Structure 1
Amino acid sequence: MAGMKAFGFLSFGHYALGNQAGPDAAQVLKDGLAIAQAADEIGVNNASFRVHHFAPQGASPMPLLGAIAGSTKHIEVGTGVIDMRYENPLYLAEEAAALDLLSDGRVALGVSRGSPEPADKGWEAFGYTAEADNGADMARAKFESFLAAIDGHGVATAAPAEKQYPRMYRAGTPLPVFPHSPGLRKNIFWGSGTNASAEQAAADGVNLMSSTLVSEADGRTLGEVQAEQIEVYRKAWKEAGHDWTPRVSVSRSIFPIVTDRDRQLFAASATGKDQIGSLGEGTNVTFGRSYAAEPDTLIEQLKADPAIAAADTLLLTIPNQMGVDLNVSILQNFAEHVAPALGWIPATEGPATGYPID
């Protein structure tokens, strides 16, 4: 399990409102498309986008992901992550299957319960209710419905023949949603922040995604906490007896310093250690450090991160507000000067696959 196989980018999709400085929503969407197209030419493996509601960020990812899939050849399109509390799971299953078919399987769709947000139970405005204050129970139920739908199980029943138009089924026949993409389950990731949710993801038979923070704050580094989660996940996967090899994705803020401009823009971004903070749910979390250094230093720092070593995919969080050229240069610098030393296999050489489960 030495070294990552794939790397991509994760855009939070921030945009400016009103008289604020910065790109507006339209420009950010167009920039996201342009960055992904350029990344595809470089050989970057993944283009992922954050999903947030009631905030000036990306909220409805499928149009953008479809545009990227239709205008690229190799790069995966994905999310990090879709908040299941806001979703109709059957409609999401239809959208995800269509995207998977359109892209020839180039999908890495991350979903989860979702993180704290500006709205007070904003999912209620979308027409959904939950028993748990954070909506975790509803998110879980929707995720189970989503998995059943993408697996092709019947989720409705056929009407009596005289009520059908067109008449296609015997009355009472279980009906799945359409379209169906047989390989979609292998392209779904659960966004995990704890050992328990990582273990559950393995039991569910989906890939694992861990971002730049975890719901642990016990003095260990982010990489150490995530490495333990990955170990728990792979052990649970083996015990579950699934017949395919899963993938594991982690995210980091990384800025290779190659030019004087890079040094002026990013040198001050480097932090020497992870930070402890709160997301407002009553527990502390560990936020990952930001890396900004010359390539040789970056390589040594990233090799020392046990989670990067254990994962097969690394996503670089990018400052999307700074435009296409700058973000493409970050990806180009990482591809040319850092990624090969970490075990990178460009997308042009084949799709990313997980590590074998020992």
Structure 2
Amino acid sequence: MTDMPRRGGPLRKLGFLTIGRFDAGNPRPGIEETLDVIERAEALGYDSVWLRCRHLQPGISSPVAIMAAASQRTRRIELGTAVIPLGLENPLRLAEDLATVDILSGGRINPGVSVGTPMLYEHYKHALYPNTHELEDFSKGRVLRLLSALRGDPVSDFAGTLGIEQFTNRVQPHSPGLASRVWYGGGLSSAVWAGEQGINYLTSSVVSTEGTESRDFATIQGQQIDAYRAHHPDVENARVSQGLVVIPTDSATDDQIRRYREYAASRFERTKTPQRPRGMLFAPDYVGPADELADQLYAHAGFQRADEIAFALPFTFAPDDYAQIIGDLAEKLGPRLAWEPASDGSAVS
């Protein structure tokens, strides 16, 4: 089994998750800001940046397009999605897009996906699937279709020449290794399923209490990671990424610290009891100096079981706040978790 992080032990990969907000009336500056953040992350030595996917909202609705642009501005950093809801996607077409961007990036794409009925589906199902909205299958079979296409399995019963055009029976382009970088998240049953499929497992700041008597977030997250690894056929290569909202304050101004603490306090009530549906339990937000945060993380059952981290940036902060948080995560908290920036990362102002 993969060694658990411990005091003085190495955190193998450090990343963060961004929602990529923009002004709906003038979206370009916000989208450019997201790309600038990814460039800054590479300069700071981060291992990864993950993009949230938000449909019909002023956020990243097309993470594959953002990754394509980011792949041309960066050289090393991994680019992930957390997550693409497959209910709004055709797995074959998505496989073509992901493979294209993975090749452009040099093999740096980490597609995180989810299934289930899309959020607010009743309000736009006729626009999304005019004739098949009642027939669509939103089960895990959609993930299997995507994996099959990414692995290069046949998707057509024809291969050959038609006139002067050449056709293959598998998705083009084919990017070897991309299927092994697919991630899936969810509760206990999803953790078991992801392990059985041999794909990677994403955790977040929300867990489901289904299948457990515990009401402690860290304990439940630890149980789910253990279940994932117990069912993975190649546990030495089973990748788990933990995600929490962690806000270091080492270089923050007094005003920033006040706002960060008010933000965490405003969200604390929801962490006390499971929320419907499916008994969803939220993690508290962690705010404080790096030394304090490191102690809290090393005591966290989920953190103890993951050697890759993608801290989630809060939704509603200003660009200067994100710059301070991203800088302190890499330069203050990272070293206290025994993480080392990538060798080609360079200090930035």
TM over 0.5: yes
Local SS of the residue matching 2:302: helix
1:201/1:263 CA distance change after superposition, 3 Å: same
Give the stretch that moved more between structures: 210-219 or 183-192.
210-219
**Is the counterpart of residue 9 in structure 1 residue 16 in structure 2?**
yes
For residue 48 of structure 2, the aligned residue among 46, 62, 67 is: 46
CA distance in 2, matches of 1:34, 1:26: 12
In structure 1, the residue matched to 2:106 is: 104
**Is the counterpart of residue 234 in structure 1 residue 229 in structure 2?**
yes
For residue 92 of structure 1, the aligned residue among 87, 91, 94 is: 94
In structure 1, the residue matched to 2:8 is: none
CA distance in 2, matches of 1:246, 1:62: 24
* Fraction of identical pairs, as percent: 29
CA distance in 2, matches of 1:302, 1:160: 56
CA shift at 1:328, angstroms?
2.2
**Is the counterpart of residue 204 in structure 1 residue 197 in structure 2?**
yes
Local SS of the residue matching 2:55: coil
Matching of residues 155-304 of structure 1 within 5 Å: 155-158=155-158, 164-166=162-164, 168=166, 175-192=169-186, 194-216=187-209, 218-237=213-232, 241-242=233-234, 245-258=237-250, 259-261=252-254, 262-271=256-265, 274-278=271-275, 282-304=277-299
Q: Does the CA-based 8 Å contact 2:209-2:220 persist in structure 1?
A: yes
1:282-339 superposed Cα distances (whole Å, 9 cap, x missing partner): 4321011101111111111111111112112211221365344331221111111111
Unaligned runs of 5+ in 2: 6-10
Give the stretch that moved more between structures: 225-234 or 241-250.
241-250
Q: Does the CA-based 8 Å contact 1:54-1:118 persist in structure 2?
A: no
Q: Does the CA-based 8 Å contact 1:28-1:320 persist in structure 2?
A: no
Local SS of the residue matching 1:14: coil
Local SS of the residue matching 1:47: strand
What is the aligned-residue RMSD (CA, Å)?
2.6
TM-score (norm 2): 0.85
Local SS of the residue matching 1:252: coil
CA distance in 2, matches of 1:115, 1:42: 38
Q: Does the CA-based 8 Å contact 1:31-1:323 persist in structure 2?
A: no
CA distance in 1, matches of 2:195, 2:82: 18
**Is the counterpart of residue 315 in structure 1 residue 310 in structure 2?**
yes
CA distance in 1, matches of 2:61, 2:257: 33
CA distance in 2, matches of 1:301, 1:295: 10
For residue 301 of structure 2, the aligned residue among 306, 331, 352 is: 306
Local SS of the residue matching 1:79: strand
Unaligned runs of 5+ in 1: 19-23, 351-358
**Is the counterpart of residue 63 in structure 1 residue 65 in structure 2?**
yes
Q: Does the CA-based 8 Å contact 1:254-1:290 persist in structure 2?
A: yes
1:349/1:270 CA distance change after superposition, 3 Å: same
1:91-133 superposed Cα distances (whole Å, 9 cap, x missing partner): 111111111111111112100115762342645532274669x
Local SS of the residue matching 1:278: coil
Number of corresponding residues: 330
In structure 2, the residue matched to 1:355 is: none
CA distance in 1, matches of 2:34, 2:22: 12
CA distance in 2, matches of 1:96, 1:179: 9
